[in-house]
């Protein structure tokens, strides 16, 4: 039974790798969306999924319309992930709704367990390249996350944050 389960998991991962390696043409979006929906995700229309995106497992994922997932984005969904409309997620960014817990000294890491936290990204957010969004974070509407940032705390609406860990840089200004 263990061997069969392992074979099915590896086969599914191989299929996912093939489908998510396809270019971002509209026709391939339906294949990618279909695979994610079969895993329990809710995906709106006009979501651009570049090659190399990896989403595991798809369950507890909601992506609204006009979202752009750039090349090599990684999303773990066990804790729940919501991505609002018109959001841009830059190259190689990671949205991690789960993490390993740190065990007491003397206990091994592989059996330490997992912790989960919902990630909620409001609409009109720009997450630049190489960012990490950690479990339990809420990013407010209109926020901008500077390239290379690690977001460990909530981000207020219409603010720009950056750094490791991400800190307030400035408020966005209105168009005059």
pLDDT in tens, the chain (176 residues): 788 888 888 888 898 889 999 998 888 988 999 999 998 999 999 999 999 999 988 899 999 999 999 999 999 999 999 999 999 999 999 999 998 888 888 887 776 668 899 999 999 999 999 999 999 999 999 999 999 999 999 999 999 999 999 999 999 998 87
Token duo for residue 90? 């830059």
* pTM reported for the whole predicted model: 0.91
As a whole number of angstroms, the distance between CA 129 and CA 171 comes to 20
Token duo for residue 95? 């949205």
Q: Is-catalytic flag, 120?
A: no
Task: Report which of 138, 166, 17 is spatially closest to residue 81, judged by C-alpha positions.
Answer: 138
Task: Report which of 86, 110, 99, 109 is spatially closest to residue 133, judged by C-alpha positions.
Answer: 99
Among candidate residues 42, 59, 100, 171, the one labeled active-site is 100
């Amino acid at each position: 039974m263990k061997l069969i389960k392992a074979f099915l998991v590896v086969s599914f991962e191989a299929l996912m790798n093939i489908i998510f390696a396809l270019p971002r043409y509209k026709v391939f979006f339906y294949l990618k969306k279909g695979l994610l929906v079969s895993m329990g995700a809710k995906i709106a229309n006009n979501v651009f999924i570049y090659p190399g995106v990896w989403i595991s497992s798809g369950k507890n994922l909601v992506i609204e319309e006009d979202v752009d997932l750039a090349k090599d984005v990684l999303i773990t969904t066990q804790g729940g992930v919501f991505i609002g409309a018109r959001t841009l997620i830059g190259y190689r960014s990671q949205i991690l709704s789960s993490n390993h817990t740190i065990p007491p000294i003397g206990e091994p890491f592989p059996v330490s367990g997992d912790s989960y936290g919902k990630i909620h990204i409001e609409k009109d957010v720009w997450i630049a390249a190489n960012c990490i969004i950690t479990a339990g974070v809420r990013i407010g509407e209109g926020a901008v996350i500077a390239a290379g940032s690690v977001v460990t705390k909530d981000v207020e609406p219409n603010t720009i944050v950056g750094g490791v860990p991400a800190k307030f840089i400035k408020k966005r200004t209105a168009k005059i």
